[in-house]
Structure 1
Amino acid sequence: MTTPNDNLYFQNVQSPLIREWFAETLARYPELHNRPIYLRKLSMKRSTMRAQPIINWSFFRRATRHYRVDFSDHLDVTKHVIVQDLPKEVVVGWFAHELGHIIDYLNRPVLGMISFGLGYALWSRYMRKAERIADTIAVEHGFGDEVRATKAYLLQHATLPFNYKRRLNKYYLSADELEGLILAWEQEQNIPEVVDIEE
């Protein structure tokens, strides 16, 4: 099913809120407005969300490549947290991170995408770099607060598995690194810093 944006498609996504939040997030990535983008819900064994190019004939030309963001309700993390029950800010931060991956993919040729996939699957340093790039792109598109909210929620959620939290700490930007990126982006955008005034 398509949305009013003819390049955005939903597969097995029943929640109107999830559809709305994803469309709102995608709207702030103008580089993707002319790309076919799919949001699909399915069962995944090793991921909560992931962003990938779609392997079809369009895959072989960067200008026509299609992309998909998958999310699951059937993982260890989502046995404790149902995605559509999360606060909007947390879900949007998650979507912004995944769309950051797609921005990273845009200029990669076919061999570059294949080497990326192999590197991500085989080397933790490669995975760490890719996840940090996606976070950085999300912040550069104005989603710093949302990415921060996503990480804070997941790390502070008492019932989430320890291994999941350890993975977050290992591969993604630390809280301090994220704060530094957000501050730098705000200064670049000339956004005034909020100062608490004690009465």
Structure 2
Amino acid sequence: MPRQNHRIVYQNVQSQHLREWFAETLAAYPELLPHPIYLRRLPTKYSTMRAQPVLNFAVLRRATRHYRVDFSSHLEVTAHVRVRELPKQVVVGWFAHELGHIVDYLHRPWRGMIAFGLGYALWSRYMRRAERRADSIAVDHGFGEQVLATKRYLINHATLPAHYKKRLRKYYLSADELEALINAYEARGEMPDIVEI
């Protein structure tokens, strides 16, 4: 049987290596095969990268939903983090984390997606659990070292604003927590239940 390929739509992404790295990362997420996935570069001011469902008629049915990963071209953000200039391991870790969010969205009905969006926007505890869940899913798909490289790069990146680093420390797994998660996964071959929503 021939191998199926993911349906990827690139929007405003000229970098060939970003396209290739995204396709390579997405290939490790077979559960996303039925869904068109968009990689889009646009001027988001408050996040460097984010994953969301595409708002079209398909969003009403889980089986037909489209998803997108956006990365920022906003001048204020790219002054500190130019995604296209980052090392491959860092970018792949970031993509793996965002695709982890999409896996987390797969089984949520459209009302559940609305509830998720509200919870994420309004409650820091909910946001923290969602970000940790995305990291766990990425580790579960074999991207533990890459996600760890992303965290270390961002925390140690000299030019990132202090408020950005504070947000990373507050909402995301720390390097130590990620290492423990990777070790537990490798030792048992399964995910520990420490970051479930």
Q: What TM-score does the superposition give when structure 1 sets the normalisation length?
A: 0.90
Cα pair 1:46 1:75 within 8 Å, conserved: no
State the match for 1:162 in structure 2. 162
Cα pair 1:131 1:171 within 8 Å, conserved: yes
How far is the alpha carbon of 1:6 from its aligned partner? Answer: 5.8
Q: Distance in 2 between matches of 1:90 and 1:174?
A: 15
State the match for 1:130 in structure 2. 130
How far is the alpha carbon of 1:46 from its aligned partner? Answer: 1.1
State the match for 1:114 in structure 2. 114
Aligned AA (1:33): L
How far is the alpha carbon of 1:74 from its aligned partner? Answer: 1.5
Q: Distance in 1 between matches of 2:127 and 2:110?
A: 19
State the match for 2:33 in structure 1. 33
1:53-132 correspondence runs (5 A): 53-74=53-74, 76-132=76-132
How far is the alpha carbon of 1:187 from its aligned partner? Answer: 1.5
How far is the alpha carbon of 1:161 from its aligned partner? Answer: 0.4
Q: Distance in 2 between matches of 1:92 and 1:122?
A: 29
Aligned-residue sequence identity (percent) comes to 70
Cα pair 2:97 2:135 within 8 Å, conserved: yes
State the match for 1:181 in structure 2. 181
Cα pair 1:54 1:68 within 8 Å, conserved: yes
Cα pair 2:34 2:64 within 8 Å, conserved: no
Cα pair 1:49 1:72 within 8 Å, conserved: yes
- Ranges of 4+ aligned residues in structure 1 off by more than 3 Å: none
Q: Distance in 2 between matches of 1:41 and 1:132?
A: 24
How far is the alpha carbon of 1:188 from its aligned partner? Answer: 2.9
Q: Distance in 1 between matches of 2:51 and 2:161?
A: 23
State the match for 1:46 in structure 2. 46
State the match for 1:196 in structure 2. none
Write the deviation string for residues 2-30 of structure 1: whole angstroms up to 9, x where unpaired. Answer: xx946111000000000000000000001
SS at match of 1:69: strand
SS at match of 1:80: coil
Aligned AA (2:173): L
Q: Distance in 1 between matches of 2:109 and 2:150?
A: 31
Q: Distance in 1 between matches of 2:156 and 2:6?
A: 38
Cα pair 1:42 1:72 within 8 Å, conserved: yes
Cα pair 1:62 1:107 within 8 Å, conserved: yes
Aligned AA (2:43): S
Write the deviation string for residues 57-88 of structure 1: whole angstroms up to 9, x where unpaired. Answer: 11000011000000013254421221111000
How far is the alpha carbon of 1:189 from its aligned partner? Answer: 4.0
State the match for 2:147 in structure 1. 147
State the match for 1:12 in structure 2. 12
Aligned AA (2:84): Q
Structure 1 spans left out of the alignment, 5+ residues: 191-199
Aligned-residue RMSD, C-alpha? 1.5
How many pairs were matched up? 187
Cα pair 1:47 1:75 within 8 Å, conserved: no
Aligned AA (2:152): A
